[in-house]
Amino acid sequence: MGIIGMFLPQVLGMGYGWLHILMSGNFVLHPIILIPIIILAKIVATSLTVGSGGSGGVFAPALVIGGFLGATLWIILNGLLPNFGPVIAAFVIVGMMAFFGGVGKVPIAVILMVSEMTGGFALLVPSMIATAIAYIIAGKYTIYKSQVPSRADSPAHRSEYSTPLMQKLFVKDAMTRKVTTATLTHRFQRSLM
């Protein structure tokens, strides 16, 4: 990680600052040729950190990778169609959300996050389309190693989906036919001995 970070400091830390610089269209700190390299390096760096048991998350790296992928798409489209309409920030935001929606398996949450982040609904339709495509491409794979298919499979939510014990247990199964009894005189005599 140290060697990667020496040459590409963009892969270290959360990376939100680098995304902000990228959204401004500043290609001095992010030369266009370097952007795909940063994407691959961030994937490798995140894999090394999380895979080795190191301290690191997956949410921020997924947003950074998605944001840089969105910027890459903008650069390609801008090269093919010079001065086409949308600004790079829109592609970075939609890329962030679509990537995380696909690999995190949370498409609805990220679509709502786009509206919250931007303070409007201008990017809602592009984020819905991009997130749906990312979700389909990601298939069953997720960045969460232990993510279960549904809430019913989760140990934390098992009680919500299981029948309580008293509804499964019948009286005949719980009752004891051989009952031990004692009288008052028996207790008194034993306590004196």
Q: What are the distances in angstroms from CA 33 to CA 9, 36, 58, 72, 153?
A: 16, 7, 25, 10, 44
Nearest residue to 101 via CA among 111, 114, 89: 111
pLDDT tens-digit series, residues 118-147:
788 888 888 899 999 999 998 888 777 655
pLDDT of residue 55: 63
- The tokens for 84 are 């086409």
Interaxial angle between packed helices 88-103 and 107-118, expressed in degrees from 0 to 180 and rounded to the nearest 10: 150
- According to the per-residue pLDDT averaged within each range, which of 70-74, 85-89, 154-158 is highest? 70-74
pLDDT band of 30, cuts 50, 70, 90: low
Claim: this prediction has a pTM higher than 0.85: no
CA distance 111 to 129: 10
pLDDT of residue 78: 84
Q: How many helices (H) and strands (E) does the chain have?
A: 11, 0
- According to the per-residue pLDDT averaged within each range, which of 25-29, 85-89, 177-181 is highest? 85-89
CA distance 190 to 193: 5
CA distance 63 to 67: 6
What average pLDDT does the structure give for the chain? Answer: 80
